[in-house]
C-alpha cells in the first residue's frame, strides 16, 4: 500500500484486524525484515509496517532530517490512517523514532504499549584510546584535504572515509548520510524517563551493534520497563532466535 505525507511517499504493509500495532524497522532495513513477526502478531492484531523514508520503496527525505523529523512523519502517517490508539514496536533506528514518539507530550493518538527491540538511542561513553583514534583520523583528514595534497593524492580522503566508515555510511546517499550523522550524534537517554507507555525491551544478549548494556540502561531509565533477554541472539534477535522471540511476543501481546 502507499501513502503520501507531504512530499514523501510511504510504502507500507497493512494486514490483520483488531487493535493496531505499528512496526518501525531499523536503518538499512525495510518492512519485509519483520515478516515472521508480522505473521505472528497479525493473528490477533492489525499490523501496519511502513518503509521509513529513504528505505525500501519509500522516497528519501527532501533534505537531511534528524530523528525528530522522522518521528513527525510517522506521527502524520499514523494520523492519516485514523488511528487513535496503537501499540508501537521499533527495532534499532526504528527504536530511536519510537522513543521520540513515546516521549512526546502532544501526540494526537495514544501509545498503549511500547516494544523496543535491540534499539539504538544511547551514546556510549568512549575510552581514551577511541578518542585518540578519532582525533588522529580527523587530523589526517584535514591534512589530506589541503589543496596541494588533494592535487598530489586525488581520492585519498574518499579512500580514508571508505576504509573507516561503516557499511551503513558507505551504502547511503548524501542525504541519508546526513540523516545518519544526526542520528548517531543525538543521545536519547534524557527522553527515557518521559516515556509513560507500558514498555517491553527485547534484546539479544550477543548484540554487538547495540550491546545488552544499552537495554539494561533503558530498563532503568524508562519507568516500569521490563527487559526480555534472548540468549545467544544478535542485533536481529527475532531472526537469530525465532522460537524464543516468538514466545516472548505471544506472551506479552497475549496471542
Residue 140: its pLDDT value, please?
41
Claim: this prediction has a pTM higher than 0.95: no
48 shares its domain with 159: no
Residue 171: its pLDDT value, please?
72
Tens digit of each residue's pLDDT, the chain (255 residues): 999 999 999 999 999 999 999 999 999 999 999 999 999 999 999 999 999 999 999 999 999 999 999 999 999 999 999 999 999 999 999 999 999 999 998 999 999 999 999 999 999 765 444 344 444 444 444 544 556 545 555 654 455 455 544 566 567 899 998 999 899 999 999 999 999 999 999 999 999 999 999 999 999 999 999 999 999 999 999 999 999 999 999 999 999
Domain count, the chain: 2
- Any idea how long the chain is? 255
d(CA 111, CA 115): 10
Range of the domain at 157: 128-172
Helix (H) or strand (E) holding 6: none
Q: Is residue 180 part of a domain?
A: no
Phi/psi at 26 (nearest 5 deg)?
-90, 175
CATH number of the domain to which 195 belongs: 3.40.50.1820
Residue 172: its pLDDT value, please?
80
167 shares its domain with 218: no
Residue 135: its pLDDT value, please?
44
Q: What is the DSSP letter of 204?
A: E
The residues facing 13 across adjacent strands are: 49
140 shares its domain with 212: no
Q: Is residue 179 part of a domain?
A: no
112 shares its domain with 155: no
Q: Is residue 181 part of a domain?
A: no
Cell 531509565 maps to which residue? 221
55 shares its domain with 116: yes
The residues facing 228 across adjacent strands are: 202
40 shares its domain with 74: yes
CB 41 within 8 A of CB 255: yes
Instruction: Quickly list DSSP for 130-193.
Output: HHHHHHHHHHHHHHHTSHHHHHHSTTHHHHHHHHHS-HHHHHS-HHHHHHHHHHHT---GGGGG
Amino acid at each position: 500500500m502507499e501513502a503520501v505525507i507531504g512530499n514523501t511517499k510511504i510504502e507500507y504493509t497493512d494486514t490483520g484486524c483488531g487493535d493496531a500495532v505499528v512496526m518501525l524497522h531499523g536503518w538499512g532495513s525495510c518492512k519485509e525484515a519483520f515478516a515472521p513477526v508480522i505473521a505472528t502478531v497479525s493473528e490477533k492484531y492489525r499490523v501496519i509496517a511502513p518503509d521509513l523514508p529513504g528505505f525500501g520503496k519509500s522516497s528519501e527525505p527532501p533534505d537531511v532530517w534528524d530523528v525528530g523529523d522522522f518521528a513527525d512523519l510517522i506521527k502524520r502517517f499514523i494520523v492519516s490512517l485514523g488511528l487513535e490508539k496503537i501499540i508501537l514496536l521499533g527495532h534499532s533506528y526504528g527504536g530511536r523514532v519510537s522513543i521520540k514518539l513515546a516521549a512526546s507530550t502532544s501526540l494526537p493518538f495514544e501509545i498503549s504499549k511500547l516494544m523496543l527491540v535491540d534499539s539504538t538511542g544511547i551514546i556510549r561513553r568512549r575510552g581514551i584510546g577511541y578518542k585518540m583514534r578519532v582525533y588522529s583520523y580527523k587530523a589526517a583528514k584535514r591534512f589530506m584535504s589541503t589543496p596541494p595534497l588533494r592535487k598530489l593524492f586525488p581520492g585519498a580522503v574518499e579512500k580514508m572515509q571508505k576504509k573507516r566508515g561503516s557499511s551503513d555510511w558507505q551504502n547511503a546517499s548524501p542525504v541519508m548520510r546526513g540523516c545518519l550523522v544526526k542520528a548517531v550524534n543525538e543521545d536519547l537517554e534524557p527522553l527515557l524517563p518521559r516515556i509513560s507507555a507500558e514498555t517491553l525491551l527485547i534484546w539479544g544478549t550477543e548484540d554487538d551493534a547495540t550491546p545488552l548494556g544499552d537495554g539494561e540502561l533503558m530498563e532503568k531509565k524508562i519507568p516500569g520497563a521490563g527487559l526480555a533477554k534472548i540468549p545467544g541472539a544478535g542485533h536481529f534477535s527475532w531472526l537469530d532466535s525465532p522460537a524464543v522471540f516468538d514466545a516472548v511476543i505471544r506472551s506479552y501481546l497475549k496471542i
